[in-house]
Amino acid sequence: MSSPLAGVVIPVCTPLIDDGQSVDEESLRRHLTRLADAGVSGAFVLGTSGEFGFLTDGQRRQVVEIAVDEVGGRLPVLIGISDTATARAVAQADMLIPLGADAVVATAPFFAASGPMEIAEHFRGIRRAVGEVPLFAYENPGRVNGHSIPADLAIELAAEGAVQGVKDSSGDQQYLEALLRGRERHGLSALSILSGSEVDADRAMQAGADGLVPGLGNVDPHGYVRLVELVQEGDVENVRREQERLRRLFGIVSIETGVPMGDSSRALGAFKAAMKMLGAIDHDPCAPPSVRLDDGDRQRIKQILVEYGPEAGA
């Protein structure tokens, strides 16, 4: 894995068969190959988009085994080990790293009301357990009781070698810029800083982020690869146009659904519905207890996909 990791890393959705409880191996393999062929720089499995919180340990092992077998050696495979406590995250690492992880990714602990001291010890504990395997800190306050990994703490952890990268899904441009300033101030040139934003990816790259980890990249990986290339070329006008198309495509996650459902069901359901329409996967359920989209929802997604999807960006 390059240091720092750069470009587009896809937080891979986990395709399931229609019962919503079994991993669809054929679809997952096809999707991973599709991502590699699109020119992405890495595959991150068992993240939020991968529904790790709803998968059994057996399913998690299966996802990692498939990913490593299908694209390992062609792409770095980053593996999510997030859990409620350090010991549980370490147990995930112990189970999954031997399967072929190029790096592991962890949020702050969730469920408990953790503060900066607990968060720091969490990442240090994981570092001691995983040895030389690169560790990425995953900043996503909305998923961990609103508790952020302070930017200065992330830089401190990087300076002492505890983390080798930060995946920033905070949606806070000021947080991202604080990470970038801290990296420069401390001369941490090997620290990889990646933005998880779909809609402000252009701003993140222009500010100096190394790359992107966009969930929408499961639907349109070429679009985000193209966006990064345009930023690198300094083509400001086409960067703006491509980002605006992707922003409109991201509207699939906020359609008015036929029945009430939570944001995760709506967003991940939309990603999977669009992926199925594009032939990337064969089935589009999310894992229980997610609420499924209905045919009317899928039709609304299809309309957006036709107007702003990959073919529109070709």
For the entire predicted model, the pTM comes to: 0.96
* Max mean pLDDT range (2-6, 147-151, 162-166): 162-166
| pLDDT mean over 30-40 | 98
Q: Does residue 278 fall inside a structural domain?
A: no
The span from the CA of 156 to the CA of 32, in Å, is 34
Per-residue model confidence as pLDDT tens digits over 230-271: 999 999 999 999 999 999 999 999 999 999 999 999 999 999
- Number of domains into which the chain is organized: 1
Find the range with the poorest average confidence among 13-22, 165-174, 276-285.
13-22
Q: Does residue 153 fall inside a structural domain?
A: yes
In this prediction, residue 2 carries a pLDDT of 58
Per-residue model confidence as pLDDT tens digits over 103-125: 999 999 998 888 999 999 999 99
pLDDT at 129 over 70: yes
The span from the CA of 169 to the CA of 196, in Å, is 4
Q: Whole-number mean pLDDT of the chain? A: 96
The span from the CA of 63 to the CA of 66, in Å, is 5
Q: Does residue 241 fall inside a structural domain?
A: no
Q: Does residue 197 fall inside a structural domain?
A: yes
Q: Could you write out the DSSP letters of every residue in 79-146?
A: EE---SSHHHHHHHHHHHGGGT-SEEEEES--SS---HHHHHHHHHHHHHHHTTS-EEEEE-GGGTTT
Q: Does residue 223 fall inside a structural domain?
A: yes
Q: Does residue 225 fall inside a structural domain?
A: yes
Range of the domain at 190: 7-231
We report the CATH number of the domain holding residue 224 as 3.20.20.70
In this prediction, residue 128 carries a pLDDT of 98
Q: Does residue 254 fall inside a structural domain?
A: no
pLDDT band for position 145 (cuts 50, 70, 90) = confident
In this prediction, residue 86 carries a pLDDT of 97
Find the range with the poorest average confidence among 142-151, 189-198, 281-290.
142-151
Q: Does residue 81 fall inside a structural domain?
A: yes
In this prediction, residue 146 carries a pLDDT of 81
